Amino acid sequence: MLSRTAENLFWMGRYIERADATARLIEMGRGMAMLPGSNESEEWRSVARATAAPESLTGEGAAAEDVIRHLLLDADNPSSIRSCLVQARANGRAIRTALTQDMWETLNDGWRTLEQATPARLKDDLPRYLDWTRQRAAAFRGAAETSLLRNDGYAFLRLGEYVERADMTLRLLDVKYYVLLPETDVVGGGRDYHQWTSVLRATSALRTYHHVHRDNYTPWGIAEFLVLNRMFPRSVMFSYLGLERYLEDLAAVYGVRRACQNTAAGMVKRLMGFDTGGLFQFGLHEFIVEAVGCTHRLSREIAAAYDF
């Protein structure tokens, strides 16, 4: 496969995942801002921080509307949902032959929907646009899952998704880790409860968590769930298991192992090494910083290994 094709597939996976995760983040911001006693602009600022938005949006005085517009519509923000979907489609168009008809149609269907969004009606229309975004992402993944050949191209697409997913979950944790530190537990009360669960909400894991833990939400339970759970598809562990698997697939197909295979396997091993409470003993924040760095390095190593 052409290196450019591999690169396009990898980034297509990343863009779709980023659009999806950003929609979930905005959803979380909306939910938090509606809670009684919440500081609306503070909630939106933390959403902005999780997406590495410019300082004008993460500092005092940033308006909710501005953050939403920046994350949803801003054509100048390469990570806005609109930019991600436009870019994913442009990538698809550049490598049309590497996609199936089904995949292309999900990228092409209504790709201009967000261009019609008007800032004035943005708040009213927001739920509709967020649902629509998640459906686009789900349709794309579904089309890939059921129609794409399981060759190296499939691996590159999935690698892009998992790199982005690991990165987004880690960045969310990075912004919210302070509410998940064990000592905040003593504060108690409804407000903190909502703060913890907001992290689950942003990863659409509110009910899933309950299925796994059965008991009440605890901040360390939530942190461990998002980092170490092997079954939850948006956890860091799950993402890295996916990365390891598809990188091993590539190594088998091409008959060569490179730095990226070792990096992914190394992180999986590290995650497996934590037992209950181990994450906090090591330091949640320290681990997040380490894992973010590792994910970025892995992305660069994949590009170097396959010449893009």
Partner 1 sequence: MFDEMRDSHGGVRAPYQRIEAWLQSAGVGALAGRHAEAEALFRRIGITFAVYAEDGGDPERLIPFDLIPRVFSAAEWRTLQRGIRQRAQALNAFLYDVYHRGEILKAGVVPEHLVYRNEAYLPEMAGFDPPGRVYSHIVGVDIVRTGPHDFQVLEDNCRTPSGVSYMLENREIMMRMFPELFRAGAVEAVDAYPRQLKQTLVEAAPAKCAGDPTVVVLTPGPLNSAYFEHSYLADLMGVELVEAADLFVDEGLCWMRTTRGPQRVDVIYRRIDDAFIDPLAFRPDSLLGVPGLFSVYRGGGVALCSAPGAGVADDKGVYVFVPDMIRFYLGEAPILKNVDTYRCADPDALSYVLANLKDLVVKEAHGSGGYGMLIGPHASKKELETFRKKIEARPEDYIAQPTLDLSTAPVLGENAVENRHVDFRPYCLVGREIRLTPGGLTRVALRKGSLVVNSSQGGGVKDTWIMAE
252 binds partner 1 (CB under 8 A): no
Evaluate whether 91 touches 99 at the Cβ level (below 8 Å): no
Evaluate whether 87 touches 49 at the Cβ level (below 8 Å): no
The 8-class DSSP code of residue 38 comes to -
The 8-class DSSP code of residue 218 comes to -
Among 55, 76, 101, 281, binds partner 1 (CB under 8 A): 101
260 binds partner 1 (CB under 8 A): no
| Angle 46-138-229 from CA coordinates, rounded to 5° | 60
Segment near partner 1 (CB under 8 A), from 103-111, 217-225, 268-276, 283-291? 103-111
User: Least distance to partner 1 from the beta carbon of 7, Å?
Assistant: 9
140 binds partner 1 (CB under 8 A): no
238 to 33, 199, 285: CA distances (angstroms):
30, 17, 20
Closest CA to 165 of 194, 202, 130: 202
Closer residue to partner 1, CB minimum distance, 105 or 275: 105
User: Least distance to partner 1 from the beta carbon of 269, Å?
Assistant: 26
Among 52, 54, 75, 108, binds partner 1 (CB under 8 A): 108
Under 8 Å CB-to-CB from 65, ≥6 apart: which residues? 119, 122, 123
Evaluate whether 89 touches 113 at the Cβ level (below 8 Å): no
Segment near partner 1 (CB under 8 A), from 77-85, 88-96, 216-224, 241-249? 88-96
User: Least distance to partner 1 from the beta carbon of 96, Å?
Assistant: 4
The 8-class DSSP code of residue 230 comes to S
User: Least distance to partner 1 from the beta carbon of 86, Å?
Assistant: 12
Sign of CA dihedral 118, 122, 124, 125: positive
Closer residue to partner 1, CB minimum distance, 251 or 292: 251
Segment near partner 1 (CB under 8 A), from 45-53, 102-110, 170-178, 257-265? 102-110
Tokens found for residue 262: 């070792």
Evaluate whether 99 touches 27 at the Cβ level (below 8 Å): no
Using only C-alpha atoms, what is the Rg of the chain? Answer: 19
301 binds partner 1 (CB under 8 A): no
User: Least distance to partner 1 from the beta carbon of 95, Å?
Assistant: 8
94 binds partner 1 (CB under 8 A): yes
Taking CB under 8 A as the rule, which mask of x and - marks residues 145-174 in contact with partner 1?
A: -------x---x------------------
16 binds partner 1 (CB under 8 A): no
Sign of CA dihedral 58, 233, 241, 133: negative
Among 96, 210, 211, 230, binds partner 1 (CB under 8 A): 96
Closest CA to 299 of 254, 252, 267: 267
By the criterion CB under 8 A, which residues form the site for partner 1? 1-6, 90, 93-97, 101, 104-105, 108-109, 152, 156, 250, 254, 306-307
